[in-house]
Amino acid sequence: MNIENSVVVITGAGQGLGQMMAVTLAQMGAQLALIDVNTAGLRKTQDQCHMLNSMARIYEADVTNEAEVEQAFLNIMEDFEHIDTLINNAGILDDGLLVQKSQTGTSKMSLEQFQTVMDVNVTGTFLCGREAAKWMIENETKGVIINISSAARAGNIGQTNYAASKAAVTTMAVGWARELGQYGIRVAAIAPGLIDTPMAMQINGDKLEQMLSMVPLARLGEPTEIAHSVRYIIENDYFTGRVLEIDGGLRL
């Protein structure tokens, strides 16, 4: 697909990877529909896109809320008339051990801690993917859906919730590729390693150092390196159902 003049919806576009994807695609002439709960962040991303002469509109919506997601997509359809690409990028972390033993007893990962991460990362991807697919099928748009997974999908200590959620969004991408291929819709996933964004900075210093020591390239990835993979997937019309691992070799 040609990126120029195409309509790209990005969730979690208020900062980090989502913001960099928006700016990269704006530089290539895409029109952008930016979704996030963070309105101030959305405005910053929109300003950056406008400086590149790209049409960019913002939609404040919580991706876990069915009514808000449906309304946001309705508004996007009214504003842009069709959707070419959805990037399911909104995601959160809330790390903790499953069970931790200390001198004062044992503590557990709470059900809320588990479900909150699953809700944003998995339910959010489901709801936005469903709306995008619905509009693409109704309009006969041969579109693209990209789910942002993580190297953590293989299973990480202290990330029961996050790792499970990222395995789920990868599997959804594969299932959707099979299901939606008949409409010419392609679906793929990107599994970044440690990338230099506000999310990575939430990981405590010692743990981040320890994780970096397992990266053959021995550095954090740059948001531009993930945005580059988004471009590759959109532009390559024979790419579907696969996961691009952009992780400096973390999973070798």
What are the CA-CA distances from residue 76 to residues 9, 30, 49, 70 (Å)? Answer: 8, 14, 17, 10
For residue 129, give both structure tokens.
């993917």
Q: Which stretch binds ligand NAD (CB under 6 A): 79-87, 129-137, 179-187, 194-202?
A: 194-202
Complex with ligand NAD: residue 52 or 118, whichever CB lies closer: 118
As a dihedral over the C-alpha atoms of residue 97, residue 103, residue 105, residue 109, rounded to 10 degrees, the angle is: -10
- The reply on whether position 129 binds ligand NAD by CB under 6 A is no
> Counting contacts by CB under 6 A, is residue 120 touching ligand NAD?
yes
Q: Is 192 in the site for ligand NAD (CB under 6 A)?
A: yes
Q: Does 188 bind ligand NAD (CB under 6 A)?
A: no
Give whichever of 173 and 194 is closer to ligand NAD, judged by the CB atom: 194
Determine which residue in the list 3, 14, 34, 122 makes contact with ligand NAD, applying CB under 6 A. Answer: 14
Q: Which two tokens stand for residue 11?
A: 């969730």
| 200 scored as a contact of ligand NAD (CB under 6 A) | yes
Q: Is there binding between residue 159 and ligand NAD (CB under 6 A)?
A: no
Q: Which two tokens mark 56?
A: 């960019």
Least distance to ligand NAD, CB of residue 8, Å: 15
Counting contacts by CB under 6 A, is residue 225 touching ligand NAD?
no
When asked if residue 146 is in the footprint of ligand NAD (CB under 6 A), the reply is no
> Is there a catalytic annotation at residue 59?
no
**Given the complex with ligand NAD, which of 124 and 141 has the nearer CB atom?**
124
Among 223, 214, 217, 215, which Cα is nearest to 195's? 223
Identify the residue among 6, 25, 36, 233 touching ligand NAD (CB under 6 A): 36
CB of 204 to ligand NAD, least distance (A): 14
The one-letter amino acid code at 119 reads: D
Return the residues of window 165-184 that contact ligand NAD according to CB under 6 A. none
User: Smaller CB distance to ligand NAD: residue 138 or 209?
Assistant: 209
30 touches ligand NAD (CB under 6 A): no
Choosing from 7, 17, 185, 234, the residue that interacts with ligand NAD (CB under 6 A) is 17
- ∠79-177-64 over CA atoms, to 5°? 55
Per CB under 6 A, residues contacting ligand NAD are: 11-12, 14-18, 36-38, 41, 62-64, 89-92, 120, 124, 148, 150, 192, 194-195, 197-200
Give me the active site residues, please: 162
